[in-house]
Structure 1
Amino acid sequence: MEQWKMSILTGAALLILAIIFAILRGGPSIWTALIVILAVIDIALGVYRKKVNK
Structure 2
Amino acid sequence: MEQWKQSVLIGVILAILAGMFAAIRKEISIWIVLIIILAVIDIVFGLYRKKKEGK
TM-score range, shorter chain: over 0.9
TM-score by length of 1: 0.94
- Identical residues among aligned pairs (%): 59
Matched, 1:15 2:15: yes
- What count of residue pairs does the alignment treat as equivalent? 54
Q: Which runs of 5+ in 1 are unaligned?
A: none
Secondary structure in structure 2 of the residue aligned to 1:53: helix
Q: Equivalents in 2 of 1:21, 1:37: separation in Å?
A: 15
Aligned to 2:48: 48
Alpha-carbon distance in 2 for matches of 1:32, 1:20:
10
Aligned partners of 1:35, 1:24: CA distance in 2, in Å?
Answer: 16
- In structure 2, what is the Cα distance between the partners aligned to 1:35 and 1:21? 11
Q: Distance in 1 between matches of 2:21 and 2:38?
A: 14
CA displacement, residues 2-28 of structure 1 (integer Å, 9 cap, x when unaligned): 000000000000011111110122111
- What RMSD in Å do the two structures reach over aligned CA positions? 0.7
Question: d(CA) in 2 for partners of 1:27 and 1:41?
Answer: 22
TM (norm. structure 2) is 0.92
